A and B are shown apart, each in its own frame.
Chain A
Amino acid sequence: MNAQPIVSIAGVSKRFGAIVAVDGVDLDIRRGELFALLGGSGCGKTTLLRMIAGFETPDTGRILIDGQDMAGVPPHRRPVNMMFQSYALFPHMDVAENVAYGLRREGLPAGEIARRVGEALDQVRLADHGKRRPAQLSGGQRQRVALARALIKRPKLLLLDEPLAALDRKLREGTRFELVRLQEQLGLTFVMVTHDQEEAMSMAGRLAVMNEGRIVQVGTPHEVYEHPRSRFVADFIGIANILPVEGGRAWLALRPEKIALFAARPNTDRAEQGRIVDVAYEGDRSLYRVGLVDGSMILVSTANVAREPREPWPRGQEVWLGWANDAGQRLNE
């Protein structure tokens, strides 16, 4: 295994007019990982992906792919392929022609193209759809055609722009696992852009959280969730109670599921008294908004392990909250 990163981004910035889309990004992406760029709309994640693909040129900084400086290399000469958010399937070609497009540009013999297109369509379970037009396919089938088309050239790096955003919820969950399985089977590097933190957390080996053109944290899903480095990350990923500590000089990010509800004062490291203001029953868990004596609000969640809980916590109930000293993450920014 080559230790050199497949993508190395150093000091990359990009502005569009007065808007700074990407602001001094440094990032290494390792060979063979599934990496996610996560952030809200306008955070610069798509611009960064498009700069890797070559559709945008960085104003400053360098992008190396497999050790090669990509400055001045047009998209059609880069060793990367992209799956577009809209899929960008060619409407005037059938499925097989779409998938064959990349190989035909390489001028391979027709027999080999046909064989590889057949394999690629098998891989995405569309073997008998080769003669259909994109307009005749369902959303999920189109997504698989786009995937097959992007993978057929066996790129070192596959870029995925919001790969699941256009699918409905049920399909999205199945497709998540399928993409991860494919990435592991092929041993390719995937870089995926998503605004959906659940998607990034469940699929990526590592992810970068972006905000206002900058990368605010890079890490495994576990690191980013349990050890956020800033209030932004703590708040953006999942739900967090952010409590001022040390007289307001720092904060504590406390996840709702790390807090337990008690009827009487517990002997946990920390204990606070309050009253349940709101209950949101979500089936697998319940979320409680608890007003503390000092007037602040804290979110607590409990897993609904039993079908009929012994202690249902109704609205208005006086409760005690308890958590351990190491349950939260101390934040300086």
Chain B
Amino acid sequence: MRLVIALPYVWLATFFLLPFALVLAIAFGTNNPDAVPPIDLGVSLKNFTLLFTDDLYLAAWLGSLRIAATSTLVTLLLGYPMAYAITRARPSLRPLLLMAVILPFWTSFLIRVYAWMGLLSSNGILNQFLRNTGLVADPGTILGTEWAVHLGIVYAYLPFMVLPLYASLEKLDTSLLEAAADLGASPITAFFTVTLPQSLPGVVAGCLLVFIPAVGEFVIPDLLGGTDTLMIGKVLWDEFFLNSDWPLASAVAICLLVLLVGPIALFQRQQAKSLERQ
């Protein structure tokens, strides 16, 4: 019995706390290209001070936050009507529609992002279609722009928005909407005064589920974005693999984590609150 209870703690300690402690230790070390691994351990704040003084990192952070925020907003605006439509569909149709939302997960994330490269490249399917139909004579290339990064994030994270929204909209008591109508609210007013406030827990959960991973996203900006797309996940990768600067990469990782602790805590609190209400 005790073993069963201890198991999650052992798991967390081995695969989360221990690696985190390692990363933290490395972040305070200094880069030494001649050592294997290329670090000299120590207590140096050099890496952190660099992060706050070099404009590149600040720009990458702000870029990540901005791209994650706009993508989250677009995902919300697309996901809300989808989730709403599913709750209003015939009950027999709902599992099918939900399945359609989850279906992309059956294919590897990486392969789906590669597929977007094929769609968006200068000789990709989209541009060929535009040229062949004569709609646009000389279409520019979407691949390698921030547009493509947004598109990729919205596409990849849409299910994480739709599912919590569906869960909270599905719980909505329809007699509340009837009461609103009975008291003189048009369907649109009833939506904004009853449906939307009642689905706020779903909105918050969905937004955080999209925003938190999107901030640290690396694959999508790397494959779909261009050299000018600055996101912190990509900077981290570059520091580690291209510059082999493990301490600096670790410092970036620590800062990223600290940056996201706020939203994650908010998400946890909100989940706990909605559990309590049930």
Contact = CB atoms under 8 A, between A and B. Distances in A.
B199 to A, nearest CB: 10
B173 A88 contact: yes
A101 B180 contact: yes
B178 A105 contact: no
Contacts of A90: 176, 179-180, 193-194
Interface residues of B, number: 18
B174 to A, nearest CB: 9
Given A76-B186, A105-B189, A88 B181 contact: no
Contacts of B271: none
B197 A55 contact: no
* Interface range for A: 20 to 34
A236 interface: no
B256 interface: no
B182 A75 contact: yes
Nearest to B197: A92
Nearest to A74: B181
A105 B194 contact: no
Interface in B197-229: 197-198, 200
A81 interface: yes
Contacts of B173: 86, 88
B3 interface: no
A92 B183 contact: no
A269 B5 CA distance: 83
Contacts of B182: 53, 75-76, 80-82, 150
B185 interface: yes
Interface in A77-99: 77, 80-82, 84, 86, 88-92
A63 B178 CA distance: 19
B203 to A, nearest CB: 13
B194 A102 contact: no
B175 A81 contact: no
Nearest to B176: A88
Interface in A42-71: 53-55
A76 B184 contact: yes
Contacts of B175: 84, 86, 88
A188 to B, nearest CB: 15
Pairs A-B, 5 closest by C-beta atoms: A102-B183, A105-B184, A88-B179, A75-B181, A88-B175
Interface of B: 173, 175-176, 178-186, 189, 193-194, 197-198, 200
Given A55-B178, A81-B183, 13 more contacts: A74-B181, A76-B181, A77-B184, A86-B173, A88-B173, A88-B178, A89-B179, A90-B193, A92-B200, A101-B193, A102-B183, A105-B185, A153-B183
Interface of A: 53-55, 74-77, 80-82, 84, 86, 88-92, 101-102, 105-106, 149-150, 153
16 contacts: A74-B181, A75-B182, A76-B180, A76-B181, A76-B185, A77-B184, A82-B178, A82-B179, A84-B178, A88-B176, A88-B178, A89-B179, A90-B176, A90-B194, A101-B180, A153-B184
